[in-house]
Amino acid sequence: MKRTVRLVAFVAGSGLLFPAGAQQTQAIPPRAPLMPPEQNAPAGRRLVQIPLQDCSGLLCVDMISGTGRALHLVLDLGERNAYLSLQAAKALGLDTHPLKDKDGGAIPDVQETTVPGAKLGDLPMGDFPFMVIDTGPDMSQQEPGKAVLGRSIPGDGTLTYGALQNRLVQLDIANHLLRVSEPQSDAVPCPHDCSDLITKHFGRFGPPTITADGFAVNGQPIDAQIDTLFTGTMIVYPAAIEKLGLKKQAKSKDKQVFPYLQNGIELARADGATQSYRNISLAQNGPLYFPLRNEPFTNMQFDATIGTALLSQGVTTFDFKGNHFWMEVAGASTP
């Protein structure tokens, strides 16, 4: 099983989070550091802080196994199923078993395992289940004589929204911190305007992902997927281009290759868009990205994909118990 079903997936580093070692691809500087982390915690909720690290430009955290071995996991809040690479599972000496479908048959090239006694920081995560897949590039699709653009995931696996169900998750990119709660018995009341987190599919038959309203392009509202594997600002899909008045921008000659997507995918880039979440301005004259081919992006169930270049402009909170999402700007705190 290769990571090719989600076209908006692995994207090269933006330079936004870790400027020293990543390629600059965004025109949006990060905001000034936010308020001290403890002031961003909703009242009465303990949030354990885990450092955000750089995995080739992607957000990455360490999960510690019961044996003390660290697993470097890419944060993938646009995906349901957490997984380990086959190489990481072998290095940890984990027992693996074929993953079964609903009829009891083995799913080709996919196994499952459990990391015993896992922790995120000092937060116990129990015996943590993962799928196990081979994350190397699919060389069968590589054309002879052309450079290999596809890259395996820059870590040992992924930590996903499905793996964090019933928890409060706060992403504070400016301070290089992820905050995660213990499983919640009740949902957190929205501190101000918030969005419903709704599960939709990537295309008609693609994998499930999370979406939210409240985002806007040039003042026009959109329904957007939130994907922390995308380090750019926003990808606008073909069905939304005309209604947003972006036909000219979508024909931009400025192009950018993202080598983590399907052995390399090229997107058009056009600058000059205002991008926001509710009353929070996220980008002025910021870049937008557009697919060069419509075919893989037909029947999309949302207008756009939001990446970490926009999420970094504030503190973002995901309530995976109540299925709510909200953002706060620099200097804001949750009551």
β-pair partners for 178: 50, 171
- DSSP letters, 250-284, are HT-S-EEEETTSTT-EEEEEEEEEEEEETTEEEEE
Mean pLDDT over 112-123 rounds to 95
The mean pLDDT of 163-191, rounded to a whole number, is 94
Q: What is the pLDDT of residues 195-204, one digit of tens each?
A: 999 999 988 8
Query: Nearest CA to 63 among 178, 171, 143, 167?
Result: 178
CB 39 within 8 A of CB 171: no
Which tokens go with 288?
A: 């937008």
Alpha carbons 304 and 306: distance in angstroms, whole number: 7
Judged against a pLDDT cut of 90, whether residue 217 lies above it is answered with yes
Which pLDDT tens digit goes with each residue over 22-46?
333 444 555 444 444 444 555 557 8
Paired strand residues for 326 = 317
pLDDT of residue 28: 52
Confirm if 303 and 239 have CB atoms less than 8 A apart.
yes
Alpha helices in 182-259 (DSSP H): 238-241, 247-250
CATH number of 19-27+36-328: 2.40.70
Whether residue 86 has pLDDT greater than 80:
yes
pLDDT of residue 77: 93
| CB hemisphere CA count around 127 (13 angstroms) | 6
Report helix, strand or coil for 223.
strand
Cα distance from N-terminal residue to C-terminal residue, the chain: 45
Domain spans in the chain, listed from the N-terminal domain onward: 19-27+36-328
Q: What is the dihedral of CA 321, 209, 212, 222, to 10 degrees?
A: 180
Burial of residue 205 (number of CB atoms within 10 Å: 0-12, 13-18, 19+)? exposed
Q: Please identify which residue in the block is written with the tokens 């928890």.
A: 167
Measured distance CA(231)–CA(228) in Å, rounded: 7
d(CA 48, CA 119) in angstroms, rounded, equals 11
Q: Which helix (H) or strand (E) holds 98?
A: strand 97-100
> Range with the lowest mean pLDDT among 147-151, 152-156, 224-228?
147-151
Q: What is the pTM of this model?
A: 0.83
Contact 235, 241 (CB under 8 A): no
The confidence score (pLDDT) of residue 135 equals 76
Sign of CA dihedral 155, 159, 160, 161: negative
